[in-house]
Amino acid sequence: MSPEIQLQALNLNLPPPPPKGGVYQPLVIVGSLAYLSGHGPYLPDGGMIRGRVGEDLDLAEGKEAARQTALAMLATLKKELGSLERIKRVVKLLGMVNCTPEFTEHPKVINGCSELFAQIWGEEAGVGARSAVGMGSLPGNIAVEIEGIFELA
Amino acid sequence: MSPEIQLQALNLNLPPPPPKGGVYQPLVIVGSLAYLSGHGPYLPDGGMIRGRVGEDLDLAEGKEAARQTALAMLATLKKELGSLERIKRVVKLLGMVNCTPEFTEHPKVINGCSELFAQIWGEEAGVGARSAVGMGSLPGNIAVEIEGIFELA
Amino acid sequence: MSPEIQLQALNLNLPPPPPKGGVYQPLVIVGSLAYLSGHGPYLPDGGMIRGRVGEDLDLAEGKEAARQTALAMLATLKKELGSLERIKRVVKLLGMVNCTPEFTEHPKVINGCSELFAQIWGEEAGVGARSAVGMGSLPGNIAVEIEGIFELA
């Protein structure tokens, strides 16, 4: 299964790689591991999906924000690595949801990212370990932030 | 010190390995590191310890939830690795407490997990780096969620 | 660029390595990676910078707390490794801000740590991947907690 062919077959519209919003590197490689900085739901027009799930956004909109975050992550990975083929597997995701204290469906929100990665790299290589949790707040009031660790081929 | 003999000596009642609650792998191995997904306080009867520490649960109950989470982590590690003997050391835990904004005793809560791991693998190998922090919310309103990195022998 | 010479040139006043506040190791080394436990803004007199950013502390005070946290991290790294020269690069930081639900400037707060590390190890080696997010609460109501992964030389 080729992630680049899958990317084309799914006809996905990647946003540009998000601009840096602080003093950090988008991706750092150490040995065979690549550490990807926290990404938000960056849109092709340069905007972000903002708001609190359970208040401003419902579950479906939160999941859509996680999917958009996955597209932004793919954009950074492609830019930094040259090709998604260089990634052997998704190792670990930390999915952080900007939501009300009463919200309970964090895993369903972050599935918006994980399901897309499963389509790109396959059900085994595209699905890593994960935590999906609720934050007190996120930068710029974005709906979702996800960071990841990837194994390189 | 054998973790499997310790497990028997302590007469611990492990819950079954928790069912997956989303699109992720319980454990991913890369080289000598094993990444364990976020676990909650899963009970032998299939229930979870739920509620917010500082409101629904007190400190002792929160610590008990962290201990139960440790048991669920051990159940997954045993299932995925075959034996706890395969683990050389605890590298890192992220202990996430579902608590009120005023709560301040997160380390004491997560000690419920760390103290059990110290009994299983010993004071050196069983105790890793750690952060213990307060979340805005957790999936299903569980009291505690803990993820971990382990070194394999 | 020598981090130890930079440390002297900047005339930084490191606090003592913070005492442990729970059952964990300050630093765990696995292969060429060093995992540093979550640190708070520990002061030379043994106090901590406490309070919620956006309520008790403003952005500048939050950033100062992140800088103080960086100093505490350096103190632990120096004690555990003997010298900052042993660190090849900053791999990843998780910057956790104790702030109001309405706060949106988390990256600017955590830059207080990242900018100091860039001065110590340089713009390339001192700047890693990063997430900067808002927590529901932090231990002892500290303003900031930061954990990190470092590559050893």
Phi, psi of A55, deg, nearest 5 = -140, -65
Indicate whether A117 belongs to any domain. Answer: yes
**Residue B79 domain flag:** yes
Residue type, B124: E
- Give the Cα separation of A20 and A145 in Å (integer): 14
User: In chain A, which stretches have pLDDT less than 50?
Assistant: none
Q: How far apart are CA C129 and CA A28, in angstroms?
A: 6
For residue B13, what pLDDT is reported?
86
pLDDT value at residue C31: 96
pLDDT in tens, B35-90: 999 999 999 999 999 999 999 999 999 999 999 999 999 999 999 999 999 999 99
Sign of the four-CA dihedral C16, C22, C23, C28: negative
pLDDT tops 90 at residue B148: yes
Please check whether residue B88 lies inside any domain of the structure.
yes
Nearest to A33 by CA among A149, A140, A133: A149
Question: So what's the ipTM on this one?
Answer: 0.97
If interface means Cβ-Cβ distance under 8 Å, which residues of chain A face chain C? 21-28, 30-31, 35-38, 52, 94, 96, 101, 134-141, 145, 147
Mean pLDDT score across all residues of chain C? 97
For residue C13, the model assigns a pLDDT of: 86
Within-domain flag for C19? no
Confidence of residue C4 (pLDDT cuts 50, 70, 90): very high
Given a cut of 90, is residue C135 above it in pLDDT? yes
- 8 Å CB contact between A41 and A147: no
Looking at the domain assignment, is residue C99 inside a domain? yes
Distance CA B28, CA B61 (A): 30
Per the prediction, chain B carries an average pLDDT of: 97
What whole-number distance in Å separates Cα of residue B50 and Cα of residue B21? 15
pLDDT score for B1: 74
% pLDDT > 90, chain B: 97
Q: Encoding tokens for residue C142?
A: 């500290």
Confidence (pLDDT) at A13? 86
CATH code of the domain containing B68: 3.30.1330.40
Q: Residue A71: inside a domain, yes or no? A: yes
Return the number of CB contacts < 8 Å for B and C: 93
Contact across the interface for C136 and B99, Cβ inside 8 Å:
yes
Residues A56 and A109 sit within 8 Å (Cβ to Cβ): no
pLDDT of res. B112? 98
Residue B22 in domain: no
* High-pLDDT (> 90) share of chain C, %: 97
Domain-located, residue B19: no
pLDDT in tens, C59-114: 999 999 999 999 999 999 999 999 999 999 999 999 999 999 999 999 999 999 99
- Chain A residues contacting B via beta carbons under 8 Å: 31-33, 89, 91-94, 99-108, 110-111, 114-115, 118, 127-137, 149, 151
Number of domains composing chain A:
1
Residue type at position A83: S
What region, left, alpha or beta, does residue B119 occupy, with left being phi > 0 and alpha being psi -120 to 50 degrees? alpha
Residue C1: per-residue pLDDT: 74
Closest CA–CA distance from residue B19 to any residue of chain A (Å): 13
Domain span holding position B77? 31-152
Cα–Cα distance measured from residue C83 to residue C89, given in angstroms and rounded to the nearest whole number: 13
